[in-house]
Amino acid sequence: MGGPRGAGWVAAGLLLGAGACYCIYRLTRGRRRGDRELGIRSSKSAGGTPGFPAEDLTDGSYDDVLNAEQLQKLLYLLESTEDPVIIERALITLGNNAAFSVNQAIIRELGGIPIVANKINHSNQSIKEKALNALNNLSVNVENQIKIKIYISQVCEDVFSGPLNSAVQLAGLTLLTNMTVTNDHQHMLHSYITDLFQVLLTGNGNTKVQVLKLLLNLSENPAMTEGLLRAQVDSSFLSLYDSHVAKEILLRVLTLFQNIKNCLKIEGHLAVQPTFTEGSLFFLLHGEECAQKIRALVDHHDAEVKEKVVTIIPKI
């Protein structure tokens, strides 16, 4: 590599390498000056690798934002290292910084989305979770969704084949919820609707709420109505309309019923009613047992639930 041009490339390489080495130093140092342990910004899991507190690369303030040069070095580090501790901390830092709209665009422009998404293939479940959390923040940006959508099928497979109620499953469901806020990518979940209802019925309270958030997004789109009604759903689904069910779940299943009924009434939609098989959501929602359960909720102790029921009863 001769001449001035070659020397320039060497200098650039040394500069990037020095920046990456500094990132490694910051990540592996453990605690910073003053023995201050940092938390995770906008993260529900503070897990991390045993023996290594989860940290980011900022200077101690939760509001610190990395600039484009720092983000580029961090992405280089994430792409080049195989150390699981460094990978996890780098993902936490990227996820925290992706909570800021300016960095959502910068990370995309630096080619960071596929670098982060590549880590959802990692065998380490904590790294998978942190990668999904980072994608969650990045997915708030509509332009980022165009790049993230190619990973939807893989995220679905992980959500439905992985451990029930796990941090990875919840992070995956959250990402799918973000990706379905608009109608643009909802069709990519058509073949997973029955699986969603299965997780809804078997998951714990947090999992149930997150699945319902996703189903509510789908239920507002008339183009998804037939797919929802065709889904094979166990009859235990109707137990979610019982009065003792937690309010945050009950209100959402009532809204799901309401949204689907509203979509069915949209002019021209399902004008020729398709044939729905026994055991489908259509049969459950249009059965007498469902109607009786909803009517019984008119005497519910919570005013918000009662108000919701009053708006639904005329649709039964």
The predicted model gives 122-133 an average pLDDT of 98
The predicted model gives 222-236 an average pLDDT of 96
pLDDT tens across 97-112, in order?
A: 999 999 999 999 999 9
Mark out the alpha helices in the chain (DSSP H runs): 3-28, 68-80, 84-97, 101-109, 112-117, 125-138, 142-148, 152-161, 167-179, 193-202, 205-219, 225-230, 247-265, 281-285, 288-296, 303-312
pLDDT tens across 164-190, in order?
A: 999 999 999 999 999 999 999 999 999
For all residues of the chain together, what is the average pLDDT?
A: 84
**Non-local CB neighbours of 6 within 8 Å, separated by 6+ positions:** none
Q: What is the pTM of this model?
A: 0.82
What proportion of the chain, given as a percentage, has pLDDT over 90?
A: 74
| Sequence-distant contacts of 294-301: CB under 8 A, at least 24 apart | 294/241, 294/254, 294/257, 296/243, 297/241, 297/243, 297/250, 297/254, 300/243, 301/243
Q: Please tell me the distance from the alpha carbon of residue 93 to that of residue 65, in angstroms, as a whole number.
A: 10
Question: With bands split at pLDDT 50, 70 and 90, how would you rate the model's confidence at 10?
Answer: very low
Question: With bands split at pLDDT 50, 70 and 90, how would you rate the model's confidence at 270?
Answer: low
Q: What is the pLDDT of residue 49?
A: 35
Q: What is the pLDDT of residue 145?
A: 98
| Token duo for residue 246 | 């937690």
Question: With bands split at pLDDT 50, 70 and 90, how would you rate the model's confidence at 214?
Answer: very high
Q: What is the pLDDT of residue 315?
A: 78
Q: What is the pLDDT of residue 273?
A: 62
Packing angle between helix 101-109 and helix 68-80, nearest 10 degrees?
Answer: 50
Q: Please tell me the distance from the alpha carbon of residue 221 to that of residue 190, in angstroms, as a whole number.
A: 12
Contact 73, 19 (CB under 8 A): yes
Question: With bands split at pLDDT 50, 70 and 90, how would you rate the model's confidence at 45?
Answer: very low
Q: What is the pLDDT of residue 33?
A: 35
With 0-12 / 13-18 / 19 or more C-beta atoms within 10 angstroms meaning exposed / middle / buried, residue 261 is: middle
Question: With bands split at pLDDT 50, 70 and 90, how would you rate the model's confidence at 291?
Answer: very high
Contact 217, 255 (CB under 8 A): no
Q: Coil, strand, or helix at residue 280?
A: strand
Q: Please tell me the distance from the alpha carbon of residue 97 to that of residue 278, in angstroms, as a whole number.
A: 48
- The answer, yes or no, to whether residue 62 has pLDDT greater than 50, is no
**Non-local CB neighbours of 114 within 8 Å, separated by 6+ positions:** 147
With 0-12 / 13-18 / 19 or more C-beta atoms within 10 angstroms meaning exposed / middle / buried, residue 117 is: buried
Q: What is the pLDDT of residue 65?
A: 83
pLDDT tens across 73-102, in order?
A: 999 999 999 999 999 999 999 999 999 999
